[in-house]
């Protein structure tokens, strides 16, 4: 998921300022999801369900 987020970040940085502003909320939510997984704040069932997806952050 970290690699997925890094790809998204690289794409985002190549966008015009207006598009970056439009995507700020999505970027923040994706970061929050990664932090929840890192600190094990999600129940195991939710974490397993996310990890089944090939692109879990592209919900």
Q: What is the pTM of this model?
A: 0.71
Q: Quick one: which H or E segment has residue 54?
A: none
Mean pLDDT by 10 residues, the chain (59 residues): 92 96 93 85 80 76
pLDDT for the residue numbered 27: 94
The pLDDT score that the predictor gives to residue 59 is 60
44 vs 19: CA distance, rounded Å: 34
Rounded distance between C-alpha atoms, residue 48 and residue 56, angstroms: 10
pLDDT reported for residue 41? 79
Residue 37, class by beta-carbon neighbours within 10 Å (0-12 exposed, 13-18 middle, 19+ buried)? middle
């Amino acid at each position: 998921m970290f690699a997925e987020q890094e790809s998204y970040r690289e794409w985002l940085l190549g966008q015009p300022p207006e598009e970056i502003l439009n995507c700020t909320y999505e970027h923040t939510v994706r970061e929050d999801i990664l932090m929840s997984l890192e600190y094990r704040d999600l129940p195991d069932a939710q974490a397993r369900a996310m990890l089944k997806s090939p692109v879990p952050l592209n919900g």
